[in-house]
Amino acid sequence: MELKRVVVTGLGALTPIGNTVDSYWEALVSGKSGAAPIQQFDASKFKTQFACEVKNFDVFDHIDKKEARKLDQFSQYAMVSATEAMADSSLMESNPNTDRIGVIWGSGIGGLKTFQDECQNFFAGDGTPKFNPFFIPKMIADIASGHISIKYGLRGPNYVTVSACASSTNAIIDAFNLIRLGKADAIVTGGSEAAVNEMGVGGFNGLRALSTRNDSPETASRPFDKDRDGFVLGEGAGALIVEEYEHAIKRGAKIYAEIAGGGMSGDAYHMTAPHPEGIGARNVMREALLDAKLDSSTVDYVNVHGTSTPLGDVAETKAIRQVFGDHAYNMNISSTKSMTGHLLGAAGAIEAIACILSVKHNVVPPTINHYTDDPEIDSKLNLTFNTAQEREVNVALSNTFGFGGHNTSAIFKKLK
């Protein structure tokens, strides 16, 4: 069968460096760090006392107080970003067939704060089971897509993908595949996460995954730097309206970019560590290029997973050299996690937005906080250190990898 073309017609973002798409993009290009001492709880006894939190955000500015109380923070973030994306797309103004519009969301953890609060309340009591009636509906990861679909009356495919930090890129790829197969006209996709709480920080500290650079939070996320010591936990959400090309053209939609292809692979190696030679990362990028029917030489920008971990950054750059050969030296590569921190299951969504806006504006956001070259990382790669670079970006590839060896790559290109 002939596959349909899929385009992006709306964007929404709620991030540690900007609470809208425009403010997020402006901060990315200017190289702004979102890391600061944690405000949501007293982190003074934790090994890591900082994170990339969403700032200057009051949920009641966006959601009725009664409704907001029924939502975990990750669902609140999902609703806010999806609302911005839907407004940006003007999709509902065209009186679409809502039976053919779906929601495919991503979250690696879901309602962690809700789970924490309910456990604390139970064990602090006399043992009598007294639980919030919304405990389970607030906690489960799939509820975010449910709430978005209820708000807009969307009766198409509806679910949440869970693949750790690859979750929202998996969601985007699933949305892309369903639309090009003719199963839907449009899908609200993306991801959200809200793990900046005692259990989230404590859990990742237990894994020794987080940076402990408490004396300088804003420089702690330093992908590819010799002195990197772990990732910085982030939170927030990103939303995309993806739509069948002819459907978008018929209603006169604004089109940001075309989704060209997507790849998925597994490392089959370790619970939390990447394969040291980047085999899974290599395979997923090759799969995405094959799916997009693009030669590797056509890629202008790779937004890497680039978490600022000792093992991950080396493995990913090795994979890039394997896939792109000498063309790797002609591309721009950057890790926007150096600014946003790592949004876990929402990382792929906000990084897809970064790629899409790079394609639109012909600007590559930087990898900030680079001070010392790592001899294990090829110094000839253009890792876009510290300052954004202008260049023609016709094709951008976004990598997202997760615990368990889950790898995803999505490719976005200029509409032609």
Q: Residues 6 or more apart from 410 whose CB is under 8 A from it? A: 169, 172, 173, 176, 259, 261, 262, 263, 288, 348, 352, 355, 397, 398
**Residue 410 banded pLDDT, cuts 50, 70, 90:** very high
Task: Give the pTM.
Answer: 0.97
Q: What is the DSSP string of 324-390?
A: HGGGGGTSEEE-THHHH-B-GGGHHHHHHHHHHHHHHHTEE--B----SB-TTS-TTS---BSS-EE
Per annotation, catalytic residue among 147, 247, 275, 305: 305
pLDDT for the residue 208? 95
Ordered alpha helix ranges (H), 269-346: 279-292, 310-324, 337-340
The answer on pLDDT for 1 being more than 90 is no
The answer on pLDDT for 176 being more than 90 is yes
- pLDDT above 70 covers a percentage of the chain that reads 100
350-399 pLDDT, tens digit each: 999 999 999 999 999 999 999 999 999 999 999 999 999 999 999 999 99
**Residue 276 banded pLDDT, cuts 50, 70, 90:** confident
The answer on pLDDT for 85 being more than 90 is yes
pLDDT for the residue 220? 98
**Amino acid (1-letter code) at residue 49:** Q
* Pair of tokens at residue 55: 């700032």
342 noted as active-site residue: yes
CA atoms of 397 and 301, how far apart (whole Å): 6
286-303 pLDDT, tens digit each: 999 999 999 999 999 999
119 noted as active-site residue: no
CA atoms of 396 and 319, how far apart (whole Å): 16
Per annotation, catalytic residue among 342, 355, 370, 406: 342
165 noted as active-site residue: yes
